A and B are shown apart, each in its own frame.
Chain A
């Protein structure tokens, strides 16, 4: 009885992802005692959401997603801190544009290959960006990170809102992430979304059906980069610094863990995964210095026994894919 109740609830949530997202996250900071953690979950959830579009829905594993997160963060950071553009919207637009351009260029080169070669190429490009960011210290702050991102007010028609308080910043991010989630539901619900899933299942067959899978893959890649970039931009505003590690492969690894923990190929899995990982990290690091061991065990256990992830298992989602 409990099982069918859970199935019912999760089934409804799955059928109405946008509404569920809005309902849950609009009240999230009201009951979670740490607004800082709530905001972190929201933003990393978006990061994982972007990654999941490529991995869980299109079936393509990238090792270099830190590149777009970093491009979004540096784009926004440089626009606001170095170029002095006085508007948050302009800052966000710059970040998004940087991630978009990065996605197009890197996707164009990397998608010429498949499987592990593709993955290693994405890693190479991400490391290249890291290297550039590291050494162009006058522009990016180098390995000390980009500091001095101003805390601007959000300009709206007629008035401006301060997002200095943790609470206000959370809701600002919430609105933007909700828009991204809405965008993703549209993408996945469209015929294009169906093509992506077809590619995930069997790309040769999809091609045989007459779809332009190269174009579809590139589009998916670029969309994924943009969602990820938005997460980076928001984080730049949140921390008022952009650390160089944003572009490093360990950041790419983190998003893979979160997506897998939550459930690749499920819509809300990324948010569940981000929440689980970040909450665990926060809690565990208070208890023991060997918390990476616990995380490693949990992660490995998931891969072995619960490959669908938390949300995937709860909703009876799908597992696995043929690599595209």
Chain B
């Protein structure tokens, strides 16, 4: 451990930080939906995948990455709205496992539909030339695009924070996560809020997808591993806690980064081990509240 140059270690930590922020972006959409609706959204990975595919389509259509970046999450968000309104809403009041099962089924449908429409071979999503470079940070050379993703995630987090803390709708959402019954008793129609939250959550997943596309490629299976990872991040942070999602995402990014550096064979299991340890010590994750989602 001692004969590793500091610059290499710094490079690894920084890479892990950016990786962690990608985890955060993936997790916040999931956590938001959990927190308010207590819905376990297995289709999260599929929304991520759709963000990338819609991005590809829009890029071809508009020839502008920025337009695609703006519109693709909106498209995914709209799909999310439709799914909530016409499918998931039917399941409220029934067994709490039902939305989980339904979204699982939906993910099968979405993955296969994408294969039918866009073919079995994956696609290439190119970042704009402005971002397709690498910048010398001194201790390492780092892709400009990843820095952009880091920046975009921070902007989104700030926007989300402002939305939740400073707007009336945000207030209702936060109150609804604490005590849905009470909010209803106050005469507020949670149905429309749930619709909105599901839409926002799916849009966030879609945004993560189109941001990830240029880094990892676009293919139908891209969401499958991601959904498991996102679940782990959300569970470690605590269901419904956005602060938890952020802390957990950054933590797990470092875990993956450092495990890859020191013990690469253990990378695959590292996040599960961390999750198991966290859950056995803190029953509801790092920042979760006992009683929620139990």
Contact = CB atoms under 8 A, between A and B. Distances in A.
Interface in A272-296: 290, 292-293, 295-296
Nearest to A292: B112
Given A120-B232, A300-B109, A113 B283 contact: yes
Nearest to A55: B97
Interface string A232-254: 00000000000000000100010
A305 to B, nearest CB: 9
The residue among A112, A125, A249, A296 with the most chain B CB atoms within 10 A of its own CB is A296
Interface string A112-145: 1111110011011101100100010000000000
Contacts of B239: 116
Contacts of B105: 296-297, 299-300, 303
A256 B101 contact: yes
Contacts of A124: 232, 272-273, 275-276, 279
Contacts of A300: 87, 102, 105-106, 109
A114 B112 contact: no
Interface in A303-319: 303-304, 307, 319
A147 interface: no
Interface in B236-292: 239, 265, 268-269, 272-273, 275-276, 279-280, 283-285
Given A290-B116, A293-B116, A304-B91, A117 B235 contact: yes
Interface in B88-127: 90-91, 94-98, 100-102, 104-109, 111-113, 115-116
A35 to B, nearest CB: 29
A299 B283 contact: no
A109 interface: yes
Contacts of A253: 104
Nearest to A300: B105
Nearest to B238: A117
A150 interface: no
B231 interface: yes
Contacts of B279: 113, 117, 120-121, 124
Secondary structure class of chain A's binding surface, majority of residues: helix
A128 B97 contact: no
Contacts of A112: 280, 283
Contacts, number: 110
Given A120-B231, A253-B104, A323-B96, A290 B269 contact: no
A80 to B, nearest CB: 28
The residue among B113, B116, B294 with the most chain A CB atoms within 10 A of its own CB is B294
Contacts of B95: 307, 319-323
Interface of B: 40, 87, 90-91, 94-98, 100-102, 104-109, 111-113, 115-116, 228, 231-232, 235, 239, 265, 268-269, 272-273, 275-276, 279-280, 283-285, 293-294
30 contacts: A61-B100, A109-B280, A112-B283, A113-B279, A114-B294, A115-B293, A117-B293, A121-B276, A121-B279, A121-B280, A124-B276, A125-B276, A131-B269, A135-B265, A253-B104, A260-B101, A290-B115, A292-B111, A293-B112, A293-B113, A293-B116, A296-B107, A299-B104, A300-B109, A307-B98, A319-B94, A322-B95, A322-B96, A323-B97, A323-B294
